[in-house]
Structure 1
């Protein structure tokens, strides 16, 4: 993550002024180096956990995260400076000179801050919580206050090209501790200092209180209606037109990770699925997944989640979905490959052999021979290439004929028949094989 064109400065001096001192710059706070992390968790509050989750979800290498946590535990992170949209520190690594490390994230717009202040001023308990250095879940959900996966942009002067490198990971873990101690650090990252935010909130609250007092003073005595007029038959006005449907489903809030609480990834997945399903039903009047079986829906969920079971979060997802369906993670991974190949029809081809009638299936083998493919042996709706001699090296090929009239390609290692979906379905068997076998 080396950036040679960046102007570099030395690490902050140990005596630099903390942002909590009187007269400090409201848009720049410098915190002395924290004590080594020790054996405790990287975060204690739910918003601190959300910060750590955003780091760990963007990481492409779990080993670098472990090194970063070890650097944080060892006290390798020097003083941390927070300004709108940026967290900066010098991190000591294996070389004598520390590395200039920073994390950037988007600042909120004026309209987003207006929404946040309106939500905070609407409830006195929200104001009390902020003054007590607490962030209510409902208030954080009013705007995208907490970072989501992909919101954190790392940068470091080290030569490591990891994403993120261990120095950025160490800075993230120590920043989570700052957020635990003072959530106004998070607000500063998003663009507003503590004094600026509290002053705006005080003005908003005073205006709201004055408006409520004016409304109460102007209230007229409640109007009465004679009973005879209330029960008299009258024509009712037409119902107003329905509100227009939103352009897309809403984004679920961030969920905390706490002992004994449900898994945040599972909650986020369920909430996101429910929102998308409700939006489709509202717009089209049709439930897109009501016809699916439990197994088909589990495969659909896994296929729609990025990572293909490679990251820690998707490995957990695959494991839980497979266990709930009575299958193994390998079964689920194979089914996901079929689903991405052609949806429910491709999953049926993977799991349901059948006997096709005479016609297209019988004409497939002559067509493959004419296209210079090796001989294929038939079994029900499947055509498989003959096993290779020991040391042949070429992968085994297979075609499966679906009830929809399409051919689906499969491939296996040469030394065993372990078939996995490959290529694009095609009405022509030669085309289905050529899409992945290079025939």
Structure 2
């Protein structure tokens, strides 16, 4: 019997087969799988689990505090009960998490929208609460008597990654709180407190003197606006001064508002993240940042010149920047040799991403793996993430943002393939 309220057990119907797609599309779903893949001792069992999950062999999944359960069918139709255990948060940890969440309205709004933004997880970690599992936190139990993760528990974990994509509150249920209890506690903490009843006027003189040097508490930090501000209109009857381009000035103001909003968001969570200052952008990088959304004409031409690129090259650079900032721009423009441990990890990730009969034929060159006969390519970033590219009109262009799983990344490149050139 759970120590929490009713509603702390949910059962999800069996999901259809997941042929040709990655199991986790969200970053928190990918973090769940990383915990499994980092801790499993037998990569063959992981591959067997992916194969079973892709084939739809995982039955209905029951989620309750500390445990997930499902019946998984082997290829010979033998049914196995698989369980995966995850340690519940203590009452003290839940209190810290709830107190942290209500301090930021954005955290509560994200949970209500079934999202788990990185800053929520980071703020929770700063409060001593690890929401996502780490290496070794997913403990397997299976009636096939395997002592480590087997194909059945691995298949269950891959299926749960798809459930987490749809609703991260499933993870909080595993950590010990059902949706009803969680939202009720958040609402109770968010409710305004009743004003104290006014007492008689005046205070004791000795008491007032003793507390006279106590400063009032600092005000709470401001809430982050939902979006950047809009610069004022420059559409007036007065002609611009010589040398002033109103279009360029308006665009500069708009991009400054976007950057100010990003920096404010970073500053509001800087204490929790304990992060250092960001590397200063080069002039060429900053020109690309400013070129995002720039109007055609003189503004775009000046920014292309400032970035040291052609107009077409600047278009590609801004496309990459919009998908991942400086990291995505570096992947677009840098070729580097993958060596030593980085190469071993890359090959292992590519080997594990697909079943043998589904794996595409890849031609490697530097940090780029091109699908033979297809206009699709994977590029490895220096941070270990995979970036999907596709060929359009004879040029490789970024397709989507990065993914930890190469199969997930490649599926987004293949979804809207270009002109068919390999």
TM-score, normalised via structure 1 length: 0.43
TM-score, normalised via structure 2 length: 0.45
Q: Whose RCO is larger (CA < 8 A, sep 6+)?
A: 2
Q: Which has the larger radius of gyration?
A: 1
